[in-house]
Amino acid sequence: MTAHFVAYSAATRTQRAENGALMIALVTGASRGIGRAIALRLAADHGAKLFLVYRSQAEAAQAVAEECIAAGGEATIHQADISDASAASGIVDAC
């Protein structure tokens, strides 16, 4: 089972959420399924800056990142097995 976590923070950007804050999200399982859907929705609806985490499907994650950018968001991909606490911590630190 893949866990899905979305975190929001404020910063500057031209396209902003309704309250004027930039939406930043770390989305796990982003290469497929619910994670992909969450990432695409945040990009399209909020122009979010996305950190997309995948475990093993790099090409699929890259495709999702490209879709998110085309939808108006920003996206970078990061490989990690978040069932490993140190890997999960490293991804959060990278964001």
Largest CA distance in the chain: 36
Q: Spell out the alpha helix ranges (H) of the chain.
A: 33-46, 58-70, 85-94
Decide: helix, strand or coil at residue 80.
coil
pLDDT of residue 78: 93
pLDDT of residue 92: 83
pTM (two decimals):
0.76
Q: In this predicted model, what pLDDT tens digit does every residue of 57-87 receive, in sequence order?
A: 999 999 999 999 999 999 999 999 988 888 8
